[in-house]
Amino acid sequence: MSVAKPNFSLDPVTFEVLKNAFITTVDQMAEQIIRTCHSFVIYNRDFSSGLNDVNGDSVAQGNMDIASHVGTLHYTCQSVIAAFVDDMNPGDVFMINDPYAGGTHFNDVRIVRPIMVDGEIICFAQSNGHWTDVGGSVPGSFDVQATEMFREGIRIPAVRLFDRGVFRRDVANLVASNTRDPSSIFGDMHAQSEATGVAEIANLSNIDRDDAVFAAGDARALFLAGNQYWHTDSSFKVMPAIASALSAREVPPEGGETEYADMRAAYDALGDAEKRKLEDLVAEHSYGYSQGKISLDAMETEEIDALPPVRHPMVRVHPATGRKALYIGRHASRIVGWPVDEGRAYLDDLLERATVAENRYSHSWRVGDLVMWDNRRVLHRGRPYDIKYRRVMHRTTIADPAPGNPWAL
């Protein structure tokens, strides 16, 4: 008995657009690695990247990738799928170098990230990098006299390196401690891991996987509601996003605008005495605090624990222009060294004065619009709209490229 196969086809123009989009994504992953890697070996382009479909088969490679790497990426991806087939979650990242599971030699360590939409895997992003040393009998892990693999270094089966976005330092320490260059290993581990995140775009929509609008009170709707408060993206992270890009795919007939407030102008409008007061003030930013103001059920305990509070100065100096700007917003939970209530009252007052009409711009969205902004200079917020209407927005952020930044993309 024969089984009819579905006939999927694309017109030539659409095919070329998608093909080049996939290749460009992989090239962007490579660009991120070359800018953030720690070892001289990877900096000299001994690495490759790729995209794999839900079965692990290769979909795209970059323009400057190495054939011996990309020719076996699909085997590695399939090994990760087999090991974690029913246990992959958003934010998970996996690591592997096992030559018996699709790898080449031990130095070529591969990082695999499942890309998900509404909890469903749509593809995998993968990075292969040659690490300077992975242990073994000689520095560099190239023992030409080796008669067994144990002399060539540590063999890594498929392991989870990030668990729902949380870096598993115990796993990383186990691997790095078995090398002669643990500092570079940690750096390259992060560079490869976060480069795979380039393939991931945040879907800020009110549509579920069944193409239906979220019901009132849905937990995902509560998450989106947080965006209606003044904030700067990812200020609750050690290294926050320096820039964001938001693209409109579907927009409601009315409402749903995005407002931006210039924090440079807000700082300039302050009196000299208040500027001096702010000079040394530090605010603690907490995602658990900001989401908790919307609903006590907005986050699970594990999610809150995964994002502990971080501290940032309340005035930031832009590295390119030298201009000062306020760094506040809904994630700022308190002022370090102040009584909590007093600090929150001052943060609220400062935010109200900083977002006055003369400092604001409101963008009314049209389908196809793309807006980019510098998070070091502006706050932003979404405006309310009738939840019966569809609103589909895609967002990506650019993390601070500072050395050692575990959030850098």
Is 148 in the same domain as 210?
no
Residues 116 and 164 in one domain: yes
Contact (Cβ atoms closer than 8 angstroms) between residue 191 and residue 42: yes
Same domain as 241, residue 217: yes
Question: Residue 310 is part of a domain; what is its CATH number?
Answer: 3.60.130.10
Lookup: tokens for 31: 């660009």
The pLDDT value given to residue 400? 62
Question: Per the domain annotation, does 1 fall within a domain?
Answer: no
Same domain, 182 and 284: no
- Model pLDDT, residue 143: 85
Give the residue carrying structure tokens 């959030």: 407
- Are both 189 and 233 inside the same structural domain? no
Same domain, 209 and 274: yes
Tell me, what's the pLDDT at 299?
Answer: 58
Which amino acid is residue 195, in one-letter code?
Answer: A
Is 35 found in the same domain as 184? yes
361 in the same domain as 288: yes
Contact 370, 245 (CB under 8 A): yes
- Letter for the amino acid at 253? P
Give me the pLDDT at residue 408, please: 36
pLDDT digits (tens, 9 = 90+) for 60-73: 888 888 887 888 89
Tokens at 44, concatenated:
């000299």
> Tell me, what's the pLDDT at 303?
59
- The pLDDT of residue 5 is 46
Query: Three-state DSSP class for 271?
Result: coil
The rounded distance, in Å, linking the Cα atoms of 86 and 81 is 9
Query: In terms of domains, do 50 and 181 share one?
Result: yes
User: Which ranges of the chain have pLDDT less than 50?
Assistant: 1-6, 404-409
| pTM of this structure | 0.60
User: Largest Cα–Cα distance in the chain?
Assistant: 85
Same domain, 178 and 305: no
Query: Per the domain annotation, does 408 fall within a domain?
Result: no
CATH number where 76 lies: 3.30.450
Domain boundary among 199, 220, 235: 199
Cβ count within 10 A of residue 62: 22
In what helix (H) or strand (E) does residue 113 lie, and over which residues does it extend?
strand 108-117
Q: Is residue 405 part of a domain?
A: no
| Element at 172 (helix H, strand E) | helix 169-176
pLDDT at 195: 87
Domain membership of residue 4 (yes or no) is: no
CA 21 from centre of chain: 19
pLDDT computed for residue 66 by the predictor: 84
Residue 407 lies in a domain: no
Report which of 241, 244, 221 is spatially closest to residue 291, judged by C-alpha positions: 221
State which residues form the domain around 336.
202-399
CA-angle at 399, arms to 281 and 245, nearest 5°? 110
CA–CA separation, 26 vs 199, rounded Å? Answer: 8
**H helices within 198-260, ranges in order?**
219-225
Both tokens of 98, joined, read 């096992």
Tokens of 383: 């405006």
Q: What order of strands is seen across the sheet that includes strand 258-262?
A: 360-363, 258-262, 378-382
Domain count across the chain:
2
Tell me the pLDDT tens digit for each residue of 127-151: 999 999 999 999 988 888 888 888 9
